[in-house]
Amino acid sequence: MARIFSPVAPRRPGAGPRVRKRPQAAHDMVMRGIGLDIVSGHYPAGSLLPAKEILSRQFKVSNSTLREALQKLSSKGMIHPKTRVGTRILAERHWNMFDADILDWRFAAGVDRSFLAHLFTLRQAFEPMAAAIMATRRTEDSLRQLTQLAAQMTVAGQDRAAIAAADLAFHLLILESTGNPFLQSIGALIRTALLASFAMSTPDETNGHGAQAPHDHGPLVAAIAAGDAQAAADAMLAVIRAGWINLGGTELPDLATLRLGRFLA
């Protein structure tokens, strides 16, 4: 699968001050190593992982550590162990694509335009509803934060990292403000889509297209502030579609005809 972007260990925008992290557990490092090999196609769907003895030597870990790593990969739907057969790689359709680790591995392995288009299409299905819900449940504090983040995108100028951090925090705040745990749980998906989108833009493109982001977010903030759920949903849809078109993509499936009245009554 052709990759159009392959980042180098990006720091998460909006992650706040750097803090000292605990050393990564050995089984998590093994899980990441094998997971990256799976999403990159090194171990294609339908193939078998090397024998456990080989993997233990490769990663220099005990059998129990390897077993724990494989159990985690199995719980994500990526592999299926079978006695006397081996551990088989499952097709992508079986993977938990909302899983933060899988999304991170896809991002690290390189994102192709098809994968990014799927992310943007899914954003259309979730984020307009989240914006509508926030419009009906907004608080003074959440609205103040949203307004500040929109302003940060404006004053960031050509600081790409600052724009990315504010944009990501803006969209995550809307998900968080819904109070809905299912909508809140797609934050990793939104993060991957926004980081990949931003990283695929060249500095010149960011200066030309990125400057539109604060303007595009203005109607969204205004609709949420006014408590207009339908206008908020429509404005969010416009933001998502503009982001995709700015990347040179063709128009995504049009969901603008979705009316929210009966869902939010």
- CATH architecture for the domain at 26-94: Orthogonal Bundle (1.10)
Contacts of 221 (CB under 8 A, 6+ apart): 146, 147, 150
pLDDT for 197: 81
User: Dihedral through CA 179, CA 265, CA 239, CA 167, nearest 10?
Assistant: -20
- CATH architecture for the domain at 111-264: Up-down Bundle (1.20)
Residue 44: closest CA among 75, 88, 4: 88
Helix, strand or coil, per DSSP, at residue 34 = helix
CB burial readout 185-204, b (16+ within 10 A) else e: ebbbbbbbbbbbbbbbbeee
Q: What is the pLDDT along the chain (265 residues), one digit of tens a residue?
A: 444 444 433 333 334 333 344 457 999 999 999 999 999 999 999 999 999 999 999 999 999 999 999 999 999 999 999 998 999 999 999 999 999 999 999 988 888 888 888 888 899 999 999 999 999 999 999 999 999 999 998 886 678 888 889 999 999 999 999 999 999 999 988 998 888 888 776 454 444 444 445 457 999 999 999 999 999 999 999 999 888 888 877 766 555 555 665 555 5
For the chain, the domains span 26-94, 111-264
Helix, strand or coil, per DSSP, at residue 133 = helix
